[in-house]
Amino acid sequence: MSAAAARRSTLPGFGLTMGLTLTWLSVIILIPLAGLFLKTFELSLDQFWGILTSRRTLNALKISFGLAFAAALVNLVMGTVIVWALVRYRFPGRRLFDAIVDIPFALPTAVAGVALTSLFAQKGWLGAPLAELGIKVAFTPIGIFVAMIFIGIPFVVRTVQPVLIDLDTEIEEAAASLGANRWHTVSKVILPSLIPALLTGFALAFARAVGEYGSVIFIAGNLPNVSEIAPLLIVIRLSEFRYADATAIAVVMLVASFLIIFAVNRLQRWAQLRIPAH
């Protein structure tokens, strides 16, 4: 490492800052995460498998991953519509709505959780009219779904928006002048160049929703096997001092999120290859 750094050796402080970085990284991130994996190795394979395939764990994982996937799909579609409106059209309040997209990033999750619950509870502003239609959102799996949509929407918008802004309008003009109608231009010319960004936004929203805790637990109802998400089950197992159970679920979720991040990195490399840097 230091030999390679010698190429730019006129600046001081490489050893010091790199040492500080690696120490702090190890103490705060790497050792604690390694501890989690070490704890898993204390379990036999049978025990590990037994925990993961118990009905309650399996259902919690299904609920977290399934609803997160569904919510990310909604975010993919709605995020694209929002980006399109924000980038391509001018309407009153556009800049305000553009800024508003970041609120789910900025609002503490517990605040989002109690706010969404109060909004969708049976007597809430949206819960009351929905209840008249016979739709119950709060304290059902639909509530989890709603909270996951809330938490995921900025990921799709903020990933796709810069790509659509940078997209050359000359290509679509060329397509139009060659006789393509608008729908063909959008679906055959514009959307394909957005695909890497769309997939990245989808994956980020999915990863966030799978691990989400604060904004979900208030509205979820938290009924085991029905509306109990995996992160909550980890917390419950911890409070019961069943550390092994908590750890096994955590490892599965952690590996899943690493795989998603790995996929995102590959996607971005693919996107860079497809669109050569200007």
Partner 1 sequence: MSQAQSYLSSARDDLRTEPRPVRAAIIAIAVIFLTVFVVLPLVVVFAQAFSKGVGAYFSALSDPEALSAIRLTLAVAAISVSLNLVFGLAAAWAIAKFDFRGKTFLISLIDLPFSVSPVISGLVFVLLFGAQGFWGPWLQAHNIHVLFAVPGIALATIFVTFPFVARALIPLMQEQGTQEEEAAISLGASGLQTFFRVTLPNIKWGVLYGVLLCNARAMGEFGAVSVVSGHIRGETNTMPLLVEILYNEYQFVSSFAIASLLAMLALITLVAKTILERHLDEGQLSSVD
Q: Find the part of the chain contacting partner 1 (CB under 8 A) among 5-13, 55-63, 132-140, 187-195.
A: 5-13
Q: Find the part of the chain contacting partner 1 (CB under 8 A) among 44-52, 134-142, 194-202, 238-246.
A: 238-246
Q: Find the part of the chain contacting partner 1 (CB under 8 A) among 143-151, 159-167, 187-195, 270-278.
A: 143-151
Is 165 a residue that touches partner 1 (CB under 8 A)?
no
Closest contact distance (angstroms) between CB of 17 and partner 1 is: 4
Any residues with CB less than 8 A from the CB of 221 and at least 6 apart, and which?
Answer: 138, 139, 140, 143, 227
Is 136 a residue that touches partner 1 (CB under 8 A)?
no
Q: Which of 32, 162, 192, 224 binds partner 1 (CB under 8 A)?
A: 32
Is 100 a residue that touches partner 1 (CB under 8 A)?
yes
Q: Find the part of the chain contacting partner 1 (CB under 8 A) among 50-58, 95-103, 136-144, 188-196.
A: 95-103
Both ends of the chain: CA-CA distance in Å?
Answer: 31
Is 49 a residue that touches partner 1 (CB under 8 A)?
no
Residue type present at position 17: T
Q: In this structure, what DSSP letter does residue 167 have?
A: S
Q: Which of 44, 53, 177, 276 binds partner 1 (CB under 8 A)?
A: 177
Alpha helices in 89-135 (DSSP H): 94-100, 103-106, 109-120, 127-132
Q: Which residues in 153-190 are b (16+ Cβ under 10 Å) and which e?
A: bbbbbbbbbebbeebeeeebeebeeeebeeeebeeebb
How many residues are listed for the chain in this entry?
Answer: 278
Q: Taking the CA atoms of the chain, what radius of gyration do you get in angstroms?
A: 23
- Residue 151 near residue 212, CB atoms below 8 Å: yes
Q: Which of 110, 128, 223, 255 binds partner 1 (CB under 8 A)?
A: 110
Binding marks (x or -) toward partner 1, 51..90, rule CB under 8 A?
---------------------------x--xx-xxx-xx-
Residues between 242 and 261 with contacts to partner 1, criterion CB under 8 A: 243, 246-247, 250, 253-254, 257-258, 260-261
Binders of partner 1: how many residues, by CB under 8 A? 96
Closest contact distance (angstroms) between CB of 272 and partner 1 is: 13
Please tell me the distance from the alpha carbon of residue 21 to that of residue 156, in angstroms, as a whole number. Answer: 31
Is 184 a residue that touches partner 1 (CB under 8 A)?
no
Residue type present at position 150: F
